[in-house]
Each structure stands twice: as C-alpha cells, then as structure tokens.
Structure 1
Amino acid sequence: MQTFLLKAKLVVVINGTTMSLQRRLVDRRLLFFDELGEPTTLTEYEFQLGYERREIEISEEQPYLGEVPHVRNVAPDLTCFPLKQREEALRRRRYLEGVMEGNTILPNKESLKEKLAEVAANLKDASVPSVSTIRRWYSRFVGGSVVKLVPKHTDKGRSNVISGELEEILKNVIDEIYLQLQRHTISVVVGEYLKRVDEKNALRLPTDQLTKPCGMTVRRYIAKLDPYEVDVRRIGKHAAKKKHRVAGELLVVDGILDRWEIDHTQLDVQLVDEETGLVIGRPYITVVLDKFSRMIMGYLLHLAAPNTETVLRVIERSIRPKAAFLERFPKVQNEWRAHGLPARLVPDNAAEFHADDLIAGFNELGIEIMYPRSRGPELKGSVERFFRTQNLGLIHNLPGTTFSNIQQKGDYKSEKHACFTLAQLEASVVKWIVDGYHQTPHRGLNGKTPAQIWASGEACRLIKLPVDPDALECILARRSLVQVHHYGIEIDGYGYHCPELSELRARLKPKEKISVRYRDEIDHVWVHDRFRNVFLQVHIKDKSMLGLSRELLKAAKKALKESGNFNPSFEQVHQCYRDIRDDVEQARRSQKIRTRRAVARAKLDKDGWKIRAAKPQIVSAEMDWLDKPITTGIATPFKVTYRRPDTGSKS
C-alpha cells in the first residue's frame, strides 16, 4: 500500500485540477499551485474533508509517494555563519584537540582539568571552559565537523506572544483592513487591533484580561505573512504574479524564423503635419522581431490605433524581401536580409490578433499563432525590450520627444520643439534599425550582432517565400461576401468593375454572393472566380480615389455626418479626408493640441464649406499677400476669410 505525506511538491487532483503543494503558510494553511500557476489555499481540515469525500485525490503519477520529498542539498560550512561565531567554533575545537591529544575519548576529570589549564595558557585565553562544558562540546563534535561547535545563537528569538484569542482577533483585523485593495498602513491595523482588544477586556473580569501586545509585536506578526498572498489581496492577482514571478527555465529557439514576436507601442515623439506644420500627435509603431537572431523582420508606422489591417500589413512586409523597400531610403548603407515565412508567431491577446481574417490567413500560410496568457508581456520579452532600446537609442534624441515620464521630460517643451513629419520619422527609424540596431553587438547573442546571427542562420535554414507576391497580398487581406450587380461590386460604398467580372456575373446563380479580399488601400480588390478557381484583380471605377486610405475615408464621411451634412459632396469628402488623414482620436492628447489644430481644420455650416483662419502663418518675410483665390487642390475652390496684419481689414 502506498502512502503520502503533506510535504512540498506533493501532487494532488482537486475537483479535476492537478495541483502541487508548495508550502505551509504562517497560519498553517496549505498553499497549492495548479499547472498555470494559480494559487489555492486550504486548511488541513478542508484538505482532510475533501480527501474523505473523494473530492481530493492523490495523483499516482508522481515520485513522492511513500517517501518524503526532498531537494538535493549540501550542509552549510563555517563561512555561512557570522565571524564571531566562526571564531568561537575554532576556539572550541582547539580545546577539544588539546585535551584529547589524538585519542577518540576524553581523559578522566583530573587529567581533563590539567589539560584545560595548559591549553588555555597556550591560547592565552582567560575564560577557561569547565569540564561539563568540554564534555557537552565533545558530544556534539561527532565526526570532527567544526560546524557542530558553532554556538546556537541562530535558534534564539522571541516567543510568539500573539496566540489563542489574541491571534484570532488579529487575523480578523488583518483580513478586514490590511488585506484590502485600499492598502491601509500597518499603523491603522495596530490601532484597530488594540481597540478591539480593549473592547474585549471591557467585558471581562480583571483576572481574565487579555494582555495587549505592543505595536512592534503586531508588525513582526504581519511581516511573517506570506508575501505573495499579501500582495494578491493588496495589489491584485496579476500585479502580484508579476512582482513575484520566477524565470525558472530558459526559452530555447532552434533557428531563425522559428519564433516571431509582434507588438505595438506609441512612440514618445510629437509629429507635425506636412502641410500645416501643426502638431498632430504621437504615432504608433508595430514591430515584428525574430527571437533567434533579434532581427527586425518588419515594422509599420501609423497614426491610427492598431487594428487587424495593421497586423496584416506588417506581417506581409516582414515576409517579403526588403531590397525594393530600401530603395525609398537612399541613406541606408547596409542590407536588410530579413525575410521568409515563419513557423510561429507570438502576439498578445489584443482583439486584432483574434480576428477571423487574420487567423484564416495564418492557417493558409502555415503560421502557428501562440497566444500567451493574459497580462504576460514577459512571454514576448524580446520585442518589449526592443521598444526600450529604440526609445533610448533614437526616439528620445529626436526634437519633440515626450520622453518616458514626467521626471525625464522636466521642463522640455515637446510641442514647441516638434518638427518631424511622419515621412521624416520613418526614414530615421529605418536608418537606425538597419545601420544601427542590426549592426550593434547584442548581449543575448554572445556579443554578436543580429545581422551576423541572421547571416549564419541562413546557411543552415531553407527560407520559404510565396511563389506569387500577389497571392501573399490576397491571403493577408480582409474578407467579405458580396453580390455582383450589373455595375459591379461595392466594398464600403466604392464601386469596382471589370470585363471579367461581367462574365462571372453571367454564370452565377441569382443573388449568389462571391468572396472578395480587400485591403486598406482602396485601389483594387481580389474577387474569387469559383468557376476558374482563381482570384481576379478588380480595380476601382473612380480613378480619382487611387492612393487613398479606406479607413480614413470612412472617418472623413463620419466627421461630415456628425457636422450636420448628411449628403456630403465629393469635394467635401476629399477635403475632410485631407484634414483628418494624420489626425486621429488616439493621436490627440491635450486640449492645447486640439485648439491649435482647430485653426486649420475644416468646418461645415449650413451655408457651405468654409475655413476661418484668423491668424495665417507667414512663411517668409518677403512673401507677398495673395490676390488670387486659394484653392484646395481639387476642382471646386472654397472661401477663406483672413485679416491683414497691417490694416486690420478683412479680405
């Protein structure tokens, strides 16, 4: 018959969940952890009751049945004790060796006294131990270990005066006041505890009074509580896990493209609009990093909040080779060799990483998505660490930086010094990544650079790429089912048509819907022809929409409708698009920015499309005032009201 003991590492099954006994807490409760690290505490009575009811079973698949679990260890040596205690242990051994003179037993009492006097004289020790003391030392000096002669000062200490009814009162006070999210101080606990003890004593006879402990005794009791359990109650479970996390194992990645990590962050820098020169806010960056080589596989700078389209575009850029992409940045000197299809991707649990379109595309490409547990940024720590490196190495050195916190920022005026546009920032980011970060020795790579690790990894890895780049674009796209009409198809209110689509419509059943793939770029969509089993590229009918963003056009229409114009014209939509393309809700942080932005932002009223600019910016002192009407760059001009600074008259 097998037996078990309530010792550490005992594996049990509680209501179907496998748990391991961690330790006993100060109040003698049993602390269990499940496979995900979730804690559970039980008293011995609760454990025994569950064991009798068969709600708690002892797992047979463990090495701790029939024996006391233990961890291999080595006894402490003399250096583990304070200096004064070490010197005392050596002094005692000299006395024992002096009186024994190589024998294994002590001499008789008379001889022992004489030898003790001789040893004390040689050691010049005024405090000669007695015969009974020497015999006590001898009984402990088994095997000649000097550690056995170390004084037992470590066993000394105060006895616990808080016990019985006093302890029950204190436990209630700690549970009701101290172990709460309000995080009351220990002084509050001490005051409430002494008050409750006084209330108890008021109802007792003088001979039956409870002895009130001092405040330091209560503080020592609280200090012995389990730190993790205290933090769970005072700062929350997730914060306590992060504070007490233990990195017991090392993540091993076999080679390049085995594990990608992806994440977003908002950069600590203010950008300005290319046309108006006004501050438009802080951009976001989405980064994909190869865990093995620390190479940046791809990035995407955007002012809108991260969404599914953002993830699809940055993954597509990460897979593709970067040679054609780097032609946009002539100042970059080194190659960006990172490319290829990965084996797995590690995101966080944001909504954009759970979209059906993204999961369907990854399944087709054979990319495994490894979702970490909630609030576990350390599970993709490499990309998180990259953001800090980027801030310290680049972002915090740019004009208009906001720094990481108000202490670092000091009196620096970010809005005043902001001068970088989105295009200029992107050029700096690419230059820093390719010529800086990829060429810098990395501590986690044994002093090698990410570019060197990637180059050596390419020699022993077959890098896969899609045969057709258009197929990759079609796979990593948004998906929808639409009906084909005589005028083509509509996606988000924009028409698409081509001769092949007309032929496809003639062969479809009445009201049959077809699959369409589309991206944020409004130029074209991909239509599935089930008869030939191919995707057809269908371009937009209105060629004036080429190069525009689908999401920002939606925002433009929404802004116009909120202003009261429920039937905006084509020119109004385009003007509104220009005004808000770099000005999204997440990029405007303060009332000051919104006030300055309102000067150049389009406004609608019942009379038509107008802009009121009370203080036009003077680009040059020699610039002449315009006598020509100002236009928007589109077919229909709009009226501008401004005031001459010299005369004050309106024009």
Structure 2
Amino acid sequence: MPDAGFSETRVSANIPDEGANLTEASVIVSELSDEALLKMEVIQSLLEPSDRPVGERLQEAAAKLGKSVRTVRRLLDKWEQEGLLGVNKTERADKGKHRIEEDWQEFILKTYREGNKGSKRMTPQQVFLRVQVRALQLGLKSPSHMTVYRILEPVIEKQEKAKSIRTPGWRGSRLSVKTRDSKDLSVEYSNHVWQCDHTRVDVLLVDQHGQLLSRPWLTTVIDTYSRCIMGINLGYDAPSSQVVALALRHGILPKQYGSEYKLHCEWGTYGKPEHFYTDGGKDFRSNHLQQIAVQLGFVCHLRDRPSEGGIVERPFKTLNSELFSTLPGYTGSNVQERPKEAEKDASLTLRQLEQRLVRYIVDNYNQRIDARMGDQTRFQRWDAGLRVSAPDVFSERELDICLMKQARRSIQRGGYLQFENLMYRGEHLAGYAGESVVLRYDPRDITTVLVYHQEGNKEVFLARAYAQDLETEQLSLDEAKASSRKIREEGKTVSNRSILTEVRDRDTFLTQKKTKKERQKAEQVEVKRAKQPLSVEPEEIEVTSIQSEAEPEMPEVFDYEQMREDYGW
C-alpha cells in the first residue's frame, strides 16, 4: 500500500494534461538543465505508488541528489505548487556582477595595484585589512574578505597567466600564538604582535686599545607577521628590563644611520606593537616593563611553552651561521669546542660589530624572501601588512619611559629636588614647591633627571633638573651610591660637592689599566654616541614660573651648606 504521506491529490496534481499542455511541458523539459532533469526524475519516482516506507525512499532520493531529506521535501512542495518551474533554478539577472558599490570596487582595485607597484608586494588578505580600516573610519559596514577576493580574482588570474606562477598569499594560512593563560593570539597584520628575546653573541670583542673583553649580549625585537627585525640592543649588560626597554625603543623609533654604516637600503620599520609576546624571564615579568606597556598602550603576554618561541629564536641561528661565524674572534656555540685561535684572532670592538650587524639586518635579512612568503621580502610584507599607510611616529621625549626608571619626590623651595643624596635644580620648578612629582632617570647617568607632574591620568613634562656642580660629569646610579658610602665611612657630610670631589679624586688616582667592567662601559658609551636615530621632538612645554620675590636668588657658585642654612634643610 502507498504510504499515507503521498496523497492521490498530490500525485495527480503533477501529471500534465493532454493536448496543448503536453506540448508546453515538452518544450520546458527540453530546456531544462541536467540538474533539473535529475530532480524531475527523482520527484516522479517518489510520486509513483510503492509499498516501500516513505522515509527510506526520501533518504534514497536525498543520496541521489546529494541533498538533505528536508531539501527533498521542499522540492516536492515546489513541484506541487509550480510544476517544472519549481525544480528549474533560474539565474540571477546580476550573475557575474559584484553586488557592491563602485567606490568600494575602485578602492579595492586601487589598493591592490598601488600595493604591487615596482618592488612592492601586497596580498588580497592585506588588501582586506585596508578595507576594514577604511570602513571603520567611514562608519560603514566592511565588505567581506570573500567579496574582496572575488573582485581581485580576475586581476590575480591575469597576473598569473603573465607570470606563469601563482600569487603567494592567496592560499596563506593565519598564524596564531598561544599565551600562558591559554589564549590563542591571532596575528593578522604588521605591528600587531612583536616578540623579544636575548642571546649571547658568539664573538669575542676587544676594547679600543685592543685589549680582550668578552662576548656581548644581543636583544632583538621581531614583528611576528612579517618576521622583520624591528629593533636591537647590543651591549655588555646582561638581560634586564632596561635592556628590553632599549631594544623596544629602537624598534619603535624610525632609524637613520650615517655613511660609516655603508647601507644600501633603509631600515624602514617603525611603529608601536599592540601585543608584546615573550618568554617568562624575570626581565619580561618586571614592573618596569608593565609600566612601559601601560604608558605606550600595548599588552604583554608570556609564551605558553618554549616551542612557541621559534619565530624570535630562529633569527639568532641565521645571524650566527651567516654573520657571526664569518667574523674574527668567533667562538662557536659550544664552549668546549671553542677554536683555540678565537682569543688570538679577536679584533672587533663593540661599535664595529654593531655596524656589521646593522648592515646585515638592513641590507640582507629584512630584504630577503621568507620561504612562506613566496615573492614578498620581509620588509615588503611588513610594509604591505600595515593597517594604515604609515604608523604613528613617536618622539624621543614620548619614549623617555623606555629609557628611564621612575622615582617620586617632592619639590622643595626654590625649585630644588633631592635624589640619591644629590641636589638638583630645574628651570620653572619653583612654582611647584611642596608638590609631589615623578622623576625619570637613566641609571647609567643620573646627573640629569626629567621631571613630570601628574595631572589627572596624564603625566605632563615640566623640566629637566640638573645635579648641581655635576653638569659636566657622568655619574651612574651605582657610582653615586658607592661614593656616598665611601664619604660616610670617612665621617664626612654627603653633598654634591663632596661627591664631585670623590669622583675626581678617584679618576685622578685611578691606574691606567681599567677593569674589564670599566672598559666595557666605555665601549657602550662609544656606541651610544655613534648612534643617530631620527629625532622628532615636540615643542617644549612652556611653564610660567611663579617664584616668590622673597626667595633668595641662586648663587652663581652652588654652596650646599649655605643652602641648608637659607632654607632650613
């Protein structure tokens, strides 16, 4: 017996009439596509009386059509209501055309063409990133990535036929890294996620007089999206938050080098990361680095496991095999297998190594094509992968936080400050007497500090304060503490003048042969002086002094003891 699900009415409703209707049906059938003919055949078989269960027949029909049972039921309903027209899929009038505004099509095509002019390379995914940003700026809904791909597909195919190669990036997979708190951090564009790590360079260095020193430390900052080396710090200081800050600062600022570097290309990369991804070393977990992140506006993440650090560690291997191994004084990575002539051959200073390293990165490493990029160099991928045409440029003043540590002090009468047993004075500070301010200082030289005033959630720069009588000296934080201890041990009063005397006496009686640490420090100072990064300084903040006329004027020669009497310190 036929199943109750197929009524006699439904069956008879789809049987064509005799005569003219049959001719009309024949004409329609002759124009049906193969897919429509198959549907008609399956539906007619379902409408024929049968003792088999309906469910079994529907499943068999669905398998034959490659559709679901629900879709087959809908086809039966359409057949009942519309006859052959119900199974004959009509094409849209706009088939082959993009249902998107013309200005979007022009923007997509123009962005792709501009991004692939000359030596530039830009993938469809990178075009989609620019589309998203433009839509956000205009407050519009962004076209989908598939729409962007469909618009670019004819252009891509034309290029492929001309070049007989497939455009790289069209099939590209998205990269993500896993954080320690079990989150997957997706990397979608340049300056999105930066990574940082340290290594000991396998090259023995000497000082300016040819005396053997040791192997320096190299810290690199890598852009995860493009694999470009964004910034470095090369020096004898062991890894610390201060070293990380210096490498970050170098990566963020635009970089410019003199003719002595003999560069053929420009470093070119700069900007600020949105995420900073590192291992769990104490230098990356420090309050100092967290403070930098808050001030500059990026988020710090720790790696979930060591294997997640391949992107930042791989360049070290490349640098070692292609650059360091070719230099005099190369030790190799295995201390036990160190070449016997390594110490004898050592002849490079820190500054000379830094010049060779910068030249290799700028002219070679960042200009080379990475295996997964096809015909895009690392720098081209970084440039094309930017969400905006040019990242914001930070001034060196804005990046003072990356160089300096922080302390809080109160301004005393006359605009004076006391820090680490030293007395400082800054212009325009007298009007802030009694107020608490933030001092930012470089531990390598505390003869000058930067003074900031907290105004709401923002720190406003007030002035530079100079250690009185020490303006022409260079005094590190450790040296200042050591001098203070020595002066106290001798039963003397600690003051700027007594510290100055102790520093000069030490320099006078110091033997010509300096310690290794002192020679390393001198080499790092030489490299620091040689570096000339592009400086974009904002206009100085003008602060009107409201110093009282009743306050005594500052004498031309600073007398600490006299100031104690004048101000009751």
TM-score (norm 1): 0.45
Q: Which secondary structure state, in structure 2, belongs to the residue aligned with residue 448 of structure 1?
A: coil
Letter of the aligned partner of 1:385 in structure 2? R
Contact 2:441 2:448 in 1 (8 A): yes
Letter of the aligned partner of 1:354 in structure 2? R
Contact 1:479 1:517 in 2 (8 A): yes
Q: Kindly indicate whether residue 440 of structure 2 is the aligned counterpart of residue 517 of structure 1.
A: yes
Q: Kindly indicate whether residue 331 of structure 2 is the aligned counterpart of residue 402 of structure 1.
A: yes
Task: Report how far residue 261 of structure 1 moved.
Answer: 0.6
Distance 1:495 1:418, change over 3 A: farther
Corresponding position of 2:504: 571
Q: Which secondary structure state, in structure 2, belongs to the residue aligned with residue 309 of structure 1?
A: helix
1:143-542 → structure 2 map (5 Å cutoff): 253-274=187-208, 276-323=209-256, 326-327=257-258, 329-373=260-304, 376-406=305-335, 409-410=338-339, 412-446=340-374, 448-458=376-386, 460-465=387-392, 468-474=395-401, 477-486=404-413, 488-505=416-433, 508=434, 513-520=436-443, 521-522=445-446, 524-530=448-454, 534-542=460-468
Distance 2:343 2:275 in 1: 41
Contact 2:367 2:378 in 1 (8 A): yes
Task: Report how far residue 364 of structure 1 moved.
Answer: 2.6
Distance 2:344 2:448 in 1: 41
Answer with 277-286 or 529-538: which moved more.
529-538
Q: State the Cα deviation string for residues 182-224 of structure 1 (Å, max 9, x = none).
A: xxxxxxxxxxxxxxxxxxxxxxxxxxxxxxxxxxxxxxxxxxx
Contact 1:496 1:540 in 2 (8 A): yes
Contact 1:265 1:284 in 2 (8 A): yes
Contact 2:450 2:464 in 1 (8 A): yes
Q: State the Cα deviation string for residues 49-73 of structure 1 (Å, max 9, x = none).
A: xxxxxxxxxxxxxxxxxxxxxxxxx
Q: State the Cα deviation string for residues 499-556 of structure 1 (Å, max 9, x = none).
A: 3122211xx2xxx542212224435322123479622231423575558463563597
Q: State the Cα deviation string for residues 293-349 of structure 1 (Å, max 9, x = none).
A: 1111110111121222112121111111113xx137441120111100111011221
Distance 2:476 2:272 in 1: 27
Task: Report how far residue 378 of structure 1 moved.
Answer: 2.1
Q: CA RMSD in A?
A: 3.7
Letter of the aligned partner of 2:463 in structure 1? Q
Q: State the Cα deviation string for residues 100-143 of structure 1 (Å, max 9, x = none).
A: xxxxxxxxxxxxxxxxxxxxxxxxxxxxxxxxxxxxxxxxxxxx
Letter of the aligned partner of 1:496 in structure 2? Y
Task: Report how far residue 382 of structure 1 moved.
Answer: 1.2
Letter of the aligned partner of 1:273 in structure 2? D
Report % sequence identity. Answer: 27
Task: Report how far residue 428 of structure 1 moved.
Answer: 0.9
Task: Report how far residue 573 of structure 1 moved.
Answer: 4.5
Distance 1:482 1:580, change over 3 A: farther
Q: Which secondary structure state, in structure 2, belongs to the residue aligned with residue 471 of structure 1?
A: coil
Corresponding position of 1:235: none
Which stretches in structure 1 are left out of the alignment for 5+ residues? Answer: 1-248, 588-651
Distance 1:484 1:432, change over 3 A: same
Distance 1:476 1:586, change over 3 A: closer
Which stretches in structure 2 are left out of the alignment for 5+ residues? Answer: 1-182, 493-498, 522-569
Q: State the Cα deviation string for residues 249-273 of structure 1 (Å, max 9, x = none).
A: 9985211111111011111111111
User: Whose relative contact order is higher, 1 or 2, with alpha carbons under 8 Å and at least 6 apart?
Assistant: 2
Task: Report how far residue 451 of structure 1 moved.
Answer: 1.8
Letter of the aligned partner of 1:257 in structure 2? N
Distance 1:422 1:475 in 2: 22
Distance 1:258 1:579, change over 3 A: farther
Distance 2:270 2:468 in 1: 35
Distance 1:304 1:585 in 2: 12
Distance 1:489 1:357 in 2: 23
Distance 1:583 1:286 in 2: 20
Q: Which secondary structure state, in structure 2, belongs to the residue aligned with residue 569 of structure 1?
A: helix
Corresponding position of 1:160: none
Contact 2:253 2:394 in 1 (8 A): no
Distance 1:490 1:371 in 2: 38
Contact 2:329 2:346 in 1 (8 A): yes
Corresponding position of 1:211: none
1:16-55 → structure 2 map (5 Å cutoff): none
Contact 1:440 1:450 in 2 (8 A): yes
TM-score (norm 2): 0.51
Distance 1:250 1:366, change over 3 A: closer
Answer with 308-317 or 478-487: which moved more.
478-487
Contact 1:256 1:461 in 2 (8 A): no
Contact 2:451 2:465 in 1 (8 A): no
Distance 2:384 2:230 in 1: 16
Contact 2:483 2:503 in 1 (8 A): no
Task: Report how far residue 282 of structure 1 moved.
Answer: 1.0
Distance 1:527 1:440 in 2: 44
Task: Report how far residue 279 of structure 1 moved.
Answer: 0.8
Contact 2:427 2:464 in 1 (8 A): no
1:601-612 → structure 2 map (5 Å cutoff): none
Q: 1:553 pairs with 471, 479, 485, which one?
A: 479
Letter of the aligned partner of 2:442 in structure 1? R
